[in-house]
Amino acid sequence: MVLKTTLREFKEEDWQSLQLHANNPSIAKFMTNQFPYPYTDRHAKEFIFRISKLIPAQVFAIDYNGEAIGAIGIHPQTDIMERNAELGYWLSEKYWGKGIITNHIKEMVEYGFSQFPVNRIYARPFGSNLASQRVLEKAGFKLEARLDKVIFKNGVAEDELIYAVRK
């Protein structure tokens, strides 16, 4: 059964639920080092402050019953990559396997193509993150590349996969 979740902009008071759900090594292990573990109150407050300045909005809370249980964002690139945007997301481990992310990825792709001058949206899951690869494929993304052992996280070399969808 898919839970009824929605996307919305983060509110200042979301910092507590953000910190609660983000403070998880199982989530952080598949994120860049900009997503810290432990994930403290200060990290949550600074994240909300930083993303609230982006116009149009680029990062949204995944809301379940008024609580921010994850985040999904579209990040337009610059310079020679200016026609591209990177998609990033995470979800509280408590809600994994419930069919939440795939629909929100589709929603963010629509939003990204309508709000930004991009013709390609890509995501870069780790080679060991099979669940993320599956949801991207379900959302219509195609595997474009596999880069062997280019990610170094927690002392381990990981493959980087590049999935993309085009306008």
Above 80 in pLDDT, residue 1? no
Which two tokens mark 162? 């590049």
The mean predicted confidence, pLDDT, of the chain is 96
Above 80 in pLDDT, residue 63? yes
- Residue 45 phi/psi, 5-degree rounding, is -65, -45
Handedness of CA 58, 61, 63, 66 (dihedral sign): negative
Residue 2: which pLDDT band, with cuts at 50, 70 and 90?
low
Average pLDDT score over residue span 83-87: 98
* Model pLDDT, residue 99: 87
pTM over 0.85: yes
Q: pLDDT tens across 107-156, in order?
A: 999 999 999 999 999 999 999 999 999 999 999 999 999 999 999 999 99
Q: pLDDT tens across 92-107, in order?
A: 999 999 989 999 999 9
* Model pLDDT, residue 46: 97
**Best CATH choice for the domain 6-166 from the list 3.40.109.10, 3.40.50.2020, 3.40.50.2000, 3.40.630.30:** 3.40.630.30
Residue 162: which pLDDT band, with cuts at 50, 70 and 90?
very high
* Model pLDDT, residue 3: 78
Q: Where are the domains of the chain?
A: 6-166
Strands in 59-64's sheet, in edge-to-edge order, are 6-8, 59-64, 67-76, 84-91, 120-123, 156-166, 142-153
Average pLDDT score over residue span 40-63: 97
